[in-house]
């Protein structure tokens, strides 16, 4: 088995061979091919270098990074630095990024000299609201399309690094830049195993709203529902905590992966702050003409006793309030896709998704997309879903903009991977925390429909917050 430094030498040698081959090809090749387009979108070169063994970690290097992984299935995409990126805000944010993606697509040259079958990728992410005014303490743009300088991909037991650069740039400069990147990253892909830290006590410092404010907010929502202004609205809470030590994001991601192996773990870091989520909800997955969307709504607590836990799961499947909440989500997704998709199919009865801290009603919805649809257009149609916003969509957004006591930022936004053909997979950002030093801001919410009870919904949010609180204790 090759040692990490031997792997670095091997990759540097292969990099030199690939760049030499590029130099021997016809003039104006690689990232230097072509002039900067009139639209400001340059050519982009990506080189896939397979790794001889699967990494044991996705290191938390200095600088901007993103990380999306699922322990179940051993899937990972991580990005370090920025080869090129675009930010947008306002109501047309996704349309603007879609136009950039369409212009980039024919200019994105990807080389896979060892025929690994793995490909380059970008990260697409956006906040809950397109409002251009960010929170004072926010560290992420409102929406971003981001091609990393170094991508790390692990799929089905195969792993590779994807080195990317925007042109024009010389081969000599590429070699210097990419060799330095390999030296910085590769040794940290295979760290020695470390034991868990002792669980720390977290101090709750601030809650918005508090229990009284939450009760009043739920009552206002129920009054709006009774007046036929809304069918459903999703209320959220923010909880600020402090730990006895600076939180280690690598350990936090690892703890979340252990606690919630079927969830998508998302880590976005810029400007010294991290936004971390452990979400069970996929906004969409588009592969070719096939589309899958998760409908998740309706929640019950877990119980330590197996017999009691099974009873809670069965009761959730028969609960009228939770089934109505779930039905709103299915209907809204179907309506959003009705004029751009065919063969839309939802299960006649939801399944129960079992997580460590909660049962959820879950219905995977499948459809065939019509030609010309990309991940940007589908995200525009599906976000925000009734599972995070409410129904009717526009009315719920307006009501929440006035009623909720804080700006959600990226909580209930979405993030995921975009492929060079503009297909991809996005996840709704739930069970979130924004982390800096020894402080973390946690977010969770609950759907309110006719028959909801403020105390029960508060307990539901407490159970959801506990997911991140437990992981933070071990970070």
How many Cβ atoms sit within 10 Å of the Cβ of residue 58?
A: 25
- Set 149, 224, 273, 281: catalytic member: 281
Q: Is 232 a catalytic residue?
A: yes
Whose structure tokens read 């919630």?
A: 260
For residue 122, give the 3-state DSSP assignment.
strand
Query: Which residue blocks in 116-244 are alpha helix, DSSP H?
Result: 171-185, 211-226
Q: Is 342 a catalytic residue?
A: no
Say how far apart CA 121 and CA 147 lie, in whole Å: 7
How many Cβ atoms sit within 10 Å of the Cβ of residue 269?
A: 22
For 30, 233, 469, 473, the CA distances from 12, given in Å and listed in that order, are 18, 54, 42, 40
Q: Are 449 and 321 in contact (CB under 8 A)?
A: yes
- Set 232, 273, 460, 464: catalytic member: 232
Task: Give the list of residues 6+ apart from residue 424 with CB closer than 8 angstroms, or none.
Answer: 121, 124, 285, 286, 375, 416, 417, 418
How many Cβ atoms sit within 10 Å of the Cβ of residue 186?
A: 25
Task: Give the list of residues 6+ apart from residue 263 with CB closer than 8 angstroms, or none.
Answer: 70, 256, 278, 279, 280, 355, 431
- The token duo for 35 is 């002039």
What are the residue numbers of the active site? 232, 281
């Amino acid at each position: 088995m090759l040692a990490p430094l031997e792997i670095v030498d091997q990759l540097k040698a292969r990099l030199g061979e690939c760049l030499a081959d590029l130099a021997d090809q016809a003039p104006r090749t690689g990232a230097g091919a072509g002039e900067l387009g009139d639209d400001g979108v340059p050519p982009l070169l990506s080189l896939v270098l397979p790794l001889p063994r699967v990494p044991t970690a996705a290191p938390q290097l200095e600088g901007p990074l993103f990380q999306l992984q699922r322990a179940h299935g051993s899937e990972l995409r991580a990005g370090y630095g920025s080869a090129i990126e675009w930010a947008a805000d306002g109501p047309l944010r996704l349309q603007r990024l879609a136009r950039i993606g369409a212009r980039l697509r024919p200019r994105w040259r990807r080389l896979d000299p060892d025929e690994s079958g793995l490909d380059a990728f970008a990260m697409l992410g956006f906040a809950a609201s397109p409002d251009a005014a960010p929170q004072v303490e926010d560290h992420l743009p409102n929406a971003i399309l981001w091609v990393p300088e170094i991508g790390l991909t692990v799929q089905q037991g195969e792993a590779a690094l994807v080195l990317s650069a925007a042109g024009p740039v010389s081969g000599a400069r590429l070699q210097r830049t990419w060799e330095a990147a390999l030296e910085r990253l590769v040794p940290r892909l295979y760290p020695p195993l470390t034991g868990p830290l002792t669980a720390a006590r977290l101090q709750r410092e601030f809650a918005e709203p508090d229990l009284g404010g939450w009760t009043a907010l739920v009552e206002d929502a129920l009054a709006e529902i009774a007046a036929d202004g809304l069918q459903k609205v999703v209320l959220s809470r923010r909880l600020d905590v402090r730990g006895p030590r600076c939180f280690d994001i690598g350990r936090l991601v690892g703890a979340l992966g252990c606690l919630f192996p079927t969830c998508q773990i998302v880590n976005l870091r810029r400007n010294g702050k991290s936004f971390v989520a452990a979400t069970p909800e996929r906004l969409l997955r588009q592969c070719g003409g096939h589309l899958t969307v998760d409908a998740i709504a309706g929640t019950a607590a877990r119980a330590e006793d197996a017999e009691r836990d099974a009873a809670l799961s069965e009761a959730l499947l028969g609960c009228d309030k939770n089934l109505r909440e779930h039905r709103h989500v299915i209907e809204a997704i179907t309506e959003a896709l009705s004029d751009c998709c065919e063969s839309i199919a939802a299960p006649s009865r939801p399944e129960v998704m079992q997580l460590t801290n909660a049962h959820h009603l879950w219905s995977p919805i499948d459809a065939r997309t019509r030609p010309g649809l990309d991940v940007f257009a589908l995200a525009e149609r599906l976000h925000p879903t009734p599972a995070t916003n409410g129904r009717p969509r526009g009315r719920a957004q307006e009501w929440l903009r006035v009623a909720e006591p804080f700006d959600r930022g990226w909580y209930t936004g979405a993030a995921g991977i975009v492929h060079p053909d503009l297909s991809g997979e996005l996840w709704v950002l739930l069970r979130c925390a924004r982390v800096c030093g020894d402080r973390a801001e946690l977010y969770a919410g609950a759907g309110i429909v006719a028959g909801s009870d403020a105390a029960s919904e508060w307990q539901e949010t407490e159970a959801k917050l506990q997911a991140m609180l437990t992981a933070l204790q071990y970070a």
